[in-house]
Structure 1
Amino acid sequence: MKVLVIGKGGREHAICWKFAQSPNVTEVIAAPGSDGMRSVARCVPIEEHEADDLLTFSAEENIGLVVIGPEAPLVNGLADRFTEAGIRVFGPSQKAAQVEGSKEFAKILMKKHAIPTGDYAVFTELDRAKDYVRKHGAPIVIKADGLAAGKGVVVAMTETEAFKALEDMLDSKQFGEAGARVVIEEYVAGEECSLMAFVHGETVVPMVVAQDHKRAFEGDRGPNTGGMGAYSPVPHLNEKTIAEAEEQILRRMAKAMSEEGCPFTGILYAGLMITEKGPKVIEFNARFGDPETQVVLPRLKTPLDDVIVSVLNGEEKEILWAEEACLGVVLASEGYPDGYEKGQVLDSNLLKSEEGQLFFHAGTKNTEAGWVTNGGRVGIVTSLANTLEQAKSAAYNDLARVKLDGLFYRSDIGNRAISPVTAGASSISKTK
């Protein structure tokens, strides 16, 4: 079977890398892909938004499965086009992708179907939004309703910060139409984690849990980013809590979307806050998380295509997961998530991985001068080891031996979770 992965970032590199390991996949093709993905996929110069060209190519190449990585083409209805053409695609319809494309849409569903989440209100007028903040006080969370590349969220610890965020979104149009409506949410305290699942209608197969680091700088300081690092498992979260999240959040949301006439197919991502009263949803995404994918898929032992095809057939397949821990540190261009320069030459040692270590390319380009930066998040240095502590040491040792002029990374990925993870035989994650 030929597999087409649509996208060009670190998440898509990890997806292609995992598909390439399957004995049933004859070829992995990425559109448009990137220079860094050429070792695991054939890259074709078709952009994510070029739907007609993607459909023509898929028909000509007899593609057996299409996986759409980024959120924008999903929200714009790309999966619908493949479905209409009779090409098997793993990704939500445009209607279902609203679970990420509109935070208000997701909140309405959660409230209607008793899925635990914080209180909220929606505004388009700056003065009314400020009045709401004055009434409820800080800390409080301000979100652009639409897609903002993971950056349209401000956790405001003071009213002044909340007002600034509202002015940026509603007055200065920092996020364009995505921020023309804002969702103001209750601040929910606890331990944050990411829980993804393979979903088709009410068929739900959860993955192992991961924890992302959104803030740009050490100690969870600085602006929100698309993610500065992640790790899996999350040993300080107990199995009972995760099981509760699977049942009350992932399965309940899949059922809710089916009942509301927008059944979900693809990767349902729940960003959770584990509170004193149990897990609550802080966001839903309609695709693999980035950088969570780069630390979850290395632990997946069952072929990725086997899982996806089984779910599309309505089967809740048993998934085999490695007991090893995986930790990844994002390498970013100085200035990210705001302005940054491209074209910084990368140390060639960065790309020389030892056993158990990987470098997933995100914003890189191969030129006559060598590998250079081509984005805000350049890549993620990932290590798979018997324990989180060993994985963390290996990843940071990898970074310590290269020159990183014009680049930066967080030095505290995984600090709160360092604890032994049992090594040895793989375990089976069995769904009901």
Structure 2
Amino acid sequence: MKILVVGSGGREHALAWKLAQSERIQIVYVAPGNGGTALDPRLRNVALTDPKELAEFVRREHVALTVVGPEAPLAAGIVNVFREQGLKVFGPTAEAAQLESSKDYAKAFMQRHGIPTAAYQTFSDAAAAHAYIDVQGAPIVIKADGLAAGKGVVVAMDLAEAHAAIDMMLSDNRLGDAGARVVVEQFLDGEEASFIVMVDGKNILPLATSQDHKRLQDHDAGPNTGGMGAYSPAPIITPELHARVMREIIIPTVQGMARDGIPYTGFLYAGLMIDAAGTPRTLEFNCRMGDPETQPIMARLKTDLVTVMEHAVNGTLDAVKLEWDRRTALGVVMAAAGYPDAPRKGDVITGIPEETPEAVTFHAGTTLTGNILTANGGRVLCVVGLGDSVKMAQKQAYAVVDRIHFDGAQFRRDIGWRAIRRHG
């Protein structure tokens, strides 16, 4: 069997890596892929990004099904193109992907369907946004309405920072069309967790829980990023809280989309904030798996992912029971110099060790030219360690991180700190 994974990041490398482990797989194509997918003999990079050209490739190569990784092709309607041609593809349509591609759409949807989230207002006029912020005070959160590659959210701890964010997005147009409208929302305090499920239009299959680390530096300092590391499972999601999230957030979302005439298929990611009383509220939806959460989640998945994906595209996810490695998986992102504002490209990467049962390195922003591997993006690698505790998984991951070198590499030393604080 042949499968296509669309995308070039760490999430796509992890999905392709897991799919390729199936005995039923002949080849996993990755479009366009990265240096890590180029190095794996079971994977093959395809230098295509246009949805129509990809659909043509799938037909020509008799690819059984396609898994779409990133948000941009989903928002651009790749699933619509494939479905119109009768091709099996896992992901939401462009209409359903508005849950991620428009923050305003998502907030209005949550309000309409009674899904717990922060209070908000949407603005396209800078003066009105400034006036609203002055009334609301800080801390407060400013989000670009559109897709901004993880850079469209500012958690402003004071009014000056909030006003600067409004100016950056609305007045200076620094985020282009993505920031032409902004959502200004109430600051929620608590602990974040990532809750990712698979949806086939009707049935919901929860994946293992995880927790991301958004800030660039240790102790959650520095700017927000696309994510500097993650671990799975997330101890904060107890069985009771898991049931509550499904009942109050995930099921109403899937049912609400169906009621709105936009049935949801694909990965659905709810970014949660859990307050001191254990109450979950929705910070955001992503219409894909998280990155870097995918990497530790895939490292723990024992079930054949090809079989799961077949059920997903055939509408039979209710027949699937997932099996997980009991160990914790913890991923540490190594980012390029200058990330997140101005990531440097071209630094040579050395020292990546062979995969072991305790550690695997997933590539994100890498390019292979001949046998030279270089950094080609903001987040370059995600090193995943597995161990019987968060501390053990952390130790395995950092032992590998310390062997890898590229000039200007940035990474946190405290991935997993909340879980370690909670459980030692």
3-state SS of the aligned residue for 2:36?
helix
Runs of 4+ residues deviating >4 angstroms: none
The corresponding residue for 1:286 is: 287
- 1:160-171 to 2 correspondences below 5 Å: 160-171=160-171
Supply the distance in 2 between the matched residues of 1:416 and 1:52 (Cα, whole angstroms): 44
Supply the distance in 1 between the matched residues of 2:77 and 2:236 (Cα, whole angstroms): 38
1:302 is aligned with what amino acid? T
The corresponding residue for 2:9 is: 9
* Percent identity of paired positions between Structure 1 and Structure 2: 45
2:326 is aligned with what amino acid? E
RMSD: 1.5
The corresponding residue for 2:316 is: 314
Larger CA deviation: 75-84 vs 378-387:
378-387
The corresponding residue for 2:360 is: 358
Alpha-carbon contact 1:210-1:296 (below 8 Å) kept: yes
Residues 323-377 of structure 1 show CA distances to partners (whole Å, capped at 9, x for unaligned) of 1110000001111001132111112x22434332111011112235721111111
Supply the distance in 1 between the matched residues of 2:63 and 2:309 (Cα, whole angstroms): 15
Going from structure 1 to structure 2, the CA distance change for 1:320 and 1:182 (only over 3 Å counts) comes to: same
The corresponding residue for 1:211 is: 211
3-state SS of the aligned residue for 2:141?
strand
Residues 153-191 of structure 1 show CA distances to partners (whole Å, capped at 9, x for unaligned) of 000011111000000000011110000000011111111
Alpha-carbon contact 2:91-2:265 (below 8 Å) kept: yes
The corresponding residue for 1:344 is: 347
Alpha-carbon contact 2:229-2:331 (below 8 Å) kept: yes
TM-score, with length taken from structure 1: 0.94
3-state SS of the aligned residue for 2:93?
coil
Supply the distance in 2 between the matched residues of 1:118 and 1:420 (Cα, whole angstroms): 26
Going from structure 1 to structure 2, the CA distance change for 1:339 and 1:419 (only over 3 Å counts) comes to: closer
Supply the distance in 1 between the matched residues of 2:352 and 2:344 (Cα, whole angstroms): 19
- 1:5-404 to 2 correspondences below 5 Å: 5-38=5-38, 39=40, 40-47=42-49, 50-275=50-275, 276=277, 278-311=279-312, 312-316=314-318, 317-347=320-350, 349-368=351-370, 370-404=372-406
Alpha-carbon contact 1:270-1:284 (below 8 Å) kept: yes
| TM-fit CA distance, 1:24 | 2.5
TM-score, with length taken from structure 2: 0.96
3-state SS of the aligned residue for 2:170?
helix
| TM-fit CA distance, 1:419 | 7.3
| TM-fit CA distance, 1:390 | 0.6
Residues 126-170 of structure 1 show CA distances to partners (whole Å, capped at 9, x for unaligned) of 110011111111111000000000110000011111000000000
| TM-fit CA distance, 1:408 | 1.3
Supply the distance in 2 between the matched residues of 1:5 and 1:30 (Cα, whole angstroms): 5
| TM-fit CA distance, 1:26 | 2.5
Alpha-carbon contact 2:100-2:287 (below 8 Å) kept: yes
